[in-house]
């Protein structure tokens, strides 16, 4: 996110406005611009042909439907008839949803960041008719109100004038720019880098420690992003090295940060879920949009926190996130929606949306809604308890510097400033009484909030993000022992198989239709992240259910991913498949940002798949990825924490856990519950179910499984093996727990 880029506030489109070409698209973002006076084209040959035929520059605008500053630029510029006239006269205007077309976004974001040192959305880029970039940036205002940033109309006129004066110079410049981008985006040739060792792991820990903000947690000052990949690394390092002092220090950093986030305003205390990031150091005032990928990744973080700490509050936060997703981000067919907007109308009669309007409260509103006493024996009102606990004050609790547009004036963003026990003590309430009072107050506010105009819902269902959420749901079902999450994950997994897996290839997205069905729209083929996240989803579904059909699908998808995206000359995975002439660069992502890169996720997948399937070629591919990114891993592993975690797991021998017994027996399920209650990042679960060995892919890859038998049909024996030696089999949950905590599984 660039400063001033990525804030939104979607304007209200008028139904009477004439529609442009975007009206026939499926993307919620493109549809938001369908009534603009700008003569928009979707990305495609029709627009390119017009640009070539009329020898006009292309103005490319890239964003997404819950992007605040995208909405601002639309309202200020794209809905302005005078500005639209300049655009239509001089340019072929193309609008792209970055979530639909990450390949387009990545190419031109690489250009923008190299040009200005930063990027973000909306992204604005001017291209030659041959699609080569000549100038670009992010948000541009309609006038000169920002010092040092030209107005959008001025820029349009200037670029159009220069193009008319010397087109050859522009084309030559665009060609040189692409040559430089192509050269700088290349990674080392195979064989030039050694396999990384311990250095990236120790350095990543040092870099995280240096970046750590000890008062409120997190790994920056402000703004603060959750960065779940950092938690994943810290929890994994601790799980594999629990007796090391630096691992314990890392664990403390992760737990403190997650606790402060859960208490902060970035956490929606009334309707659950987490916003994208906090604008301040204290996790107080968020950017209010909620993204599916954040919910998925943070679910894992809080599950890890629960496992290693034993604190139920972390499990409660995981349930909170999942409850929000199941209620507000779920399609009836099983898919998961992408996001909810930051902005909404403050009242049904309002004409302009405001950021956070759906989520914030005035002092008067809270006191009016919560005027009842806590219970029959206390005169204290719910409002008094609630306002104390959630920092609600008369005049609002948002500092002016956090509210540059006065959208949150006199409003309160709920934030816990003390524990439930401490709030209870303040009002002479038992902790249980106080918890019940706060829960009742939250429910009252939830019902009141439901009557407000809702934020825009991006009901696009992306394969990659669904894979993330399936992984989180399935793991939550296993860790928490709650079947509803496992079943929801299976519904989503089957949704992907039936709706988005066609002729052996994944599609990028499905879209909600008006009759509660789904539409595939233009049937954009999947990108590498779609495959990587669905492979991980299949692995997690297998571990949660021991249904080996998910292993079969994981292998199938991984093989397809290798065929479509692996670079046979330079190793590593490209973002997109070959053959699209409109994509001028095939890029291998080299940073774990809000979403971990596909190369990082794939490296982890391959490390886990190799011992599960008995395929050494997969481990060879994982090591090739580590070598490809060795320079980056050795110097700035903090840029690739997810890949550093995969390397960490790779450097520890797998812990094979063989369950011998029938998959449906209570005894086996109890043993599985124990396994999932421990954090074992390098575990490989193998099911030896002799009632159906012919149906199991595992028997065909591990002939030794035929040797493992329970003593009777209702029993489950578990063997824990590492470094070519196994512990004695155990048949009771307590015995298994002790075995898993022994050095053989943690060395």
Query: DSSP characters for 639-695?
Result: G-HHHHHHHHHHTS--EEEEEES-TT-HHHHHHHHHHHTS--TTEEEEEE-TTSGGG
**Mean pLDDT, to the nearest integer, of 31-44?**
97
Give the pLDDT band (50/70/90) at residue 743: very low
Q: pLDDT by residue (tens digit) across 373-383?
A: 988 888 899 99
Tell me the torsion sign for CA atoms 654, 660, 664, 665.
Answer: negative
Give the pLDDT band (50/70/90) at residue 147: low
CB 565 within 8 A of CB 528: yes
Distance CA 747, CA 739 (A): 13
At 191 the pLDDT is 67
Phi and psi, residue 331, nearest 5°: -90, 145
Give the pLDDT band (50/70/90) at residue 620: very high
Q: pLDDT by residue (tens digit) across 496-521?
A: 999 999 988 999 999 988 777 787 76
At 169 the pLDDT is 86
Does residue 585 surpass a pLDDT of 70? Answer: yes
Class of CATH domain 655-746: alpha beta
Q: pLDDT by residue (tens digit) across 241-273?
A: 999 999 999 999 999 999 999 999 999 999 999
Among the listed residues 84, 92, 9, 11, the one whose alpha carbon sits nearest the alpha carbon of residue 49: 92
Tell me the torsion sign for CA atoms 533, 537, 543, 546.
Answer: negative
Give the pLDDT band (50/70/90) at residue 364: very high
Question: 121 - beta bridge partners?
Answer: none
On average, the pLDDT of the chain sits at 92
Same fold, 21-184 and 655-746: yes
**Mean pLDDT, to the nearest integer, of 456-468?**
97
Region of 73 please: left (phi>0), alpha (psi -120 to 50) or beta: alpha
Tell me the torsion sign for CA atoms 741, 745, 746, 747.
Answer: positive
Tell me the three state secondary structure of residue 46.
helix
At 16 the pLDDT is 57
Instruction: State whether CATH 1.10.579.10 applies to domain 21-184.
Output: no
Does residue 405 surpass a pLDDT of 90? Answer: no
**Mean pLDDT, to the nearest integer, of 603-613?**
98
Q: How far apart are the first and last CA of the chain?
A: 40
Give the pLDDT band (50/70/90) at residue 304: very high
Q: pLDDT by residue (tens digit) across 69-103?
A: 999 999 999 999 999 999 999 999 999 999 999 99
Does residue 15 surpass a pLDDT of 70? Answer: no
At 574 the pLDDT is 96
At 186 the pLDDT is 78
Does residue 3 surpass a pLDDT of 70? Answer: no
DSSP secondary structure code for residue 704 in this structure: G
Any idea where the domains of the chain sit in the sequence?
Answer: 21-184, 216-330, 359-451, 655-746
pTM, entire model: 0.94
Q: pLDDT by residue (tens digit) across 189-206?
A: 776 779 999 999 999 999
At 520 the pLDDT is 74
Tell me the three state secondary structure of residue 488.
helix
Does residue 6 surpass a pLDDT of 60? Answer: no
Distance CA 666, CA 102 (A): 45
CB 231 within 8 A of CB 301: yes
């Amino acid at each position: 996110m660039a400063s001033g880029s990525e804030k939104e506030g979607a304007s209200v489109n008028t139904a009477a406005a004439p529609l442009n070409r975007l009206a026939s698209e499926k993307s919620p973002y493109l549809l938001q611009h369908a009534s603009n006076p700008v003569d928009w084209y979707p990305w495609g040959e029709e627009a390119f042909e017009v640009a070539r035929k009329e020898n006009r520059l292309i103005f490319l605008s890239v964003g997404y439907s819950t992007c605040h500053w995208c909405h601002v630029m639309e309202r200020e510029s794209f809905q302005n008839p005078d500005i639209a006239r300049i655009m239509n006269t001089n340019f072929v205007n193309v609008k792209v949803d970055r979530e639909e077309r990450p390949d387009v976004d990545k190419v031109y974001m690489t250009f923008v960041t190299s040009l200005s040192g930063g990027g973000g959305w909306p992204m604005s880029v001017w291209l030659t008719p041959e699609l080569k970039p000549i100038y670009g940036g992010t948000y541009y205002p309609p006038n000169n109100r920002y010092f040092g940033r030209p107005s959008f109309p001025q820029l349009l006129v200037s670029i159009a004038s220069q193009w008319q004066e010397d087109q050859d110079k522009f084309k030559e410049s665009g060609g040189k720019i692409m040559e430089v981008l192509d050269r700088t985006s290349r990674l080392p040739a195979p064989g030039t880098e050694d396999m990384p060792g311990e250095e990236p792991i120790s350095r990543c820990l040092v870099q995280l420690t240096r970046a750590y903000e000890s008062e409120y947690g997190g790994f920056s000052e402000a703004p603060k992003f959750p960065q779940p990949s950092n938690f994943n690394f810290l929890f994994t390092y601790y799980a594999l090295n629990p007796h090391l002092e630096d691992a314990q220090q890392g664990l403390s950093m992760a737990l403190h940060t997650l606790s402060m986030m859960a208490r902060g305003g970035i956490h929606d205390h009334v309707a659950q879920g987490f916003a994208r990031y906090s604008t301040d150091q204290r996790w107080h005032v968020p950017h209010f949009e909620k993204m599916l990928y954040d919910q998925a990744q943070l679910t894992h973080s809080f599950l890890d926190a629960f496992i290693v700490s034993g604190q139920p509050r972390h499990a409660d936060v995981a349930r909170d996130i999942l409850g929000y997703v199941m209620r507000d981000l779920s399609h009836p067919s099983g898919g998961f929606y992408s996001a909810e907007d930051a902005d909404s109308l403050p009242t049904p009669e309002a004409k302009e949306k405001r950021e956070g309007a759906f989520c914030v409260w005035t002092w008067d509103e809270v006191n009016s809604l919560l005027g009842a006493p806590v219970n029959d024996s206390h005169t204290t009102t719910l409002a008094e308890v609630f306002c104390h606990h959630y920092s609600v004050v008369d005049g609002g609790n948002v500092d002016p510097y956090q509210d540059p547009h006065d959208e949150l004036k006199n409003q309160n963003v709920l934030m816990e400033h003390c524990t439930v026990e401490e709030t209870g003590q303040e009002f002479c309430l038992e902790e249980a009484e106080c918890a019940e009072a706060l829960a009742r107050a939250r429910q009252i506010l939830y019902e009141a909030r439901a009557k407000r105009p809702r934020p825009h819902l991006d009901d696009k269902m992306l394969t990659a993000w669904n894979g993330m959420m399936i992984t989180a749901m399935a793991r939550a079902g296993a860790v928490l022992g709650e079947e509803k999450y496992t079943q929801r994950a299976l519904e989503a997994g089957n949704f992907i198989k039936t709706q988005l897996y066609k002729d052996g290839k994944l599609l990028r997205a499905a879209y909600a239709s008006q009759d509660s069905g789904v539409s595939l729209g233009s049937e954009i083929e999947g990108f590498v992240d779609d495959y990587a996240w669905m492979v991980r989803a299949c692995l997690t579904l297998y571990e949660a259910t021991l249904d080996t059909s998910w292993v079969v699908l994981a292998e199938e998808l991984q093989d397809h991913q290798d065929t479509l995206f692996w670079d046979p000359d330079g190793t590593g995975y490209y973002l997109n498949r070959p053959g699209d002439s409109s994509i001028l660069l095939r890029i291998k992502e080299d940073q774990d940002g809000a979403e971990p890169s596909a190369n990082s996720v794939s490296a982890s997948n391959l490390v886990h798949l190799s011992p599960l399937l008995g395929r050494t070629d997969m481990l060879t591919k994982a090591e090739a990825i580590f070598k490809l990114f060795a320079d980056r891993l050795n110097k700035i592993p903090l840029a690739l924490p997810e890949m550093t975690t995969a390397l960490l797991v790779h450097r520890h021998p797998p812990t094979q856990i063989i369950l011998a017994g029938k998959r449906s027996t209570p005894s086996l399920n109890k043993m599985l519950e124990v396994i999932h209650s421990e954090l074992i990042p390098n575990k490989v679960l193998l099911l030896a179910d002799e009632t159906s060995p012919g149906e199991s892919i595992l028997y065909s890859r591990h002939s030794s499984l035929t040797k493992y038998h329970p003593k009777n049909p209702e029993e489950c024996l578990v063997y824990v093996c590492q470094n070519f030696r196994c512990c004695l089999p155990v048949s009771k949950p307590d015995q298994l727990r002790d075995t898993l905590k022994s050095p053989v599984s943690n060395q």
